[in-house]
Every structure is written in C-alpha cells, then in structure tokens.
Homo-oligomer: A and B are copies of this chain.
C-alpha cells in the first residue's frame, strides 16, 4: 500500500465542473451567431497557449480572468460576432465563475471531505474559484490556485506548493484530475494520482480516446463518488 494520503488536490475545469456544457449553454442563451459547441471549444483552445506565454515569461503574471478575456476577444472576431456590448462581453467572460458541477461532484466531494482535506489546485484565479464554489456549493477546505504560487500548472511550484502549505511530504498529497498530462507532472513531483473519467468534458460531439486505465496512476475512477468508494469514504 502506498503512503497515507492526507490531502486531495483537485484539478477543477473538466474534473469538477463541466466547462464545455456550461459555456455552450450560455452562448445558446445569448443567441450568438455561432455554434455553441464550437464556440466553447474555441475559447478553451486558447487557454494553454495563453498560459504558456506566462510560463515562458513572454507575458508577466496575468490571471485567468484576464487571459480568458484576451482569448474571448479573439474568438468573437473569429466568429464575426459584433453584436455584444462591452457589458455583455464582460458578463460572458464571467461565465467561468459560474460553471456547473458534474452530477456526482457535490456528493462526491462531501464524502471525500469526511476523510481527507480537500483543496483545489487550479489555474483558475482565486476570485473565480471562490465565486464558483459559492454558486455551486463546492465544500472545499481550502481554495488553492496558481495565483497563490504565481506559477501555472504544470510548473512544479504548484504541486509542491500544496505539500508545503500543509507541511507534508509530496506523497501525502494526491492530485485528482481528468487530464493525464496534469497527473504525469504531479507524479514527477512525488504526488500520488487519481484519474477521473470525464467522457463528456469536450462536449457531446467529441469522443475522448484517452480514458483507459494507466499503470502510473494510483487510482482510476468513473467519477468522484467512485473515487470516494475506492478510498473507503
């Protein structure tokens, strides 16, 4: 058996909340002249390149709210959408603060919280994550963000930062994520890992081919209730 885990650190976008469905639904409500699924995918597609600019030092520290806005402005151009006012654009950008949890999320987190300290480890900024938690009743013990460490995942400072904050060795922390690259980076820092299948993360028209169980993860779960069951919660 692996060393005892004390803290579960959760990736958020895709793992805990359904960014694709929430954004597609907001775009649909606004009656924009764009396919809601394509719009959601395009917005998210700008995310990693934008963070890479911060990670490489090309951009100074910039929080996700501001990166989301930079990308949104590009996406609106790309879809030739010129009907939104500045206030509407600003409000649309805040949709990331109001993403909906997956059906199992709130119950699963509650069960996991009974046995572990549950924290976020997200590239989302603190204000975004706090608004999201309040809106969706996510019962975090602590909200941690790239903003605290001034480093975006997958920089090691983020994974090791969680362990330092709780004065723990890295193997007493487990990253829970629906993304294998995130788990690979966490494992390289000595953290334990749990993969969560989220077949619909990228929308109804996208078939994920990366959901198979891997030898390198400590746990592989269908959802957060399944993880809670496997961890004896």
State whether the Cβ of A165 lies closer than 8 Å to any Cβ in chain B: yes
Interface string of A153-182 (1 = CB under 8 A from B): 000000000000111000000000000000
Given contacts A143-B142, A148-B148, contact A167 B130 (CB under 8 A): no
| B117 A130 Cβ-Cβ under 8 A | yes
| A166: B residues at CB distance < 8 A | 127, 130
A65-B167, A167-B65 known; A141 and B148 CB under 8 Å?
no
Complex contact A127–B167 (CB within 8 A): yes
Cβ-based interface call for A72 (8 A): no
In the bound complex, CA of A5 to CA of B188 (Å): 44
Q: Is A95 an interface residue (CB 8 A)?
A: no
Instruction: State in angstroms the CA–CA spacing of A143 and B140 once bound together.
Output: 10
> What size tier do the contact residues of chain A reach?
20 to 34
Least CB separation from A167: chain B residue: B127
A143–B41 alpha-carbon span in the complex (Å): 32
Chain B residue numbers with a CB within 8 Å of A143 are 142-143
Cβ 8 A contact of A141, one of B65, B130, B167? B130
How far, in whole Å, are A126 and B147 apart by their CA atoms in the complex? 14
Within 8 A of B (CB), among A110-137: 117, 119, 125-127, 129-131, 133-134
Which of A130, A131, A165, A166 gathers most chain B CB within 10 Å? A130
Interface centre among A125, A129, A143, A147 (most CB of B within 10 A): A143
Tell me the minimal C-beta distance from A123 to chain B in angstroms.
15
**Chain B residues positioned under 8 Å from A130 (CB to CB):** 117, 119, 141-142, 165-166
Is the pair B141, A134 in contact by a Cβ cutoff of 8 Å? yes
With A134-B141, A141-B133, A143-B143 in contact, do A165 and B127 touch (Cβ < 8 Å)?
Answer: yes
Interface contact B148-A134, CB-CB below 8 Å: no
Q: Mark A190-219, 1 if CB is under 8 A from B, else 0.
A: 000000000000000000000000000000
Closest to A133 in B: B141
Q: Which residues of A contact B (CB under 8 A)?
A: 65, 117, 119, 125-127, 129-131, 133-134, 141-144, 147-148, 165-167
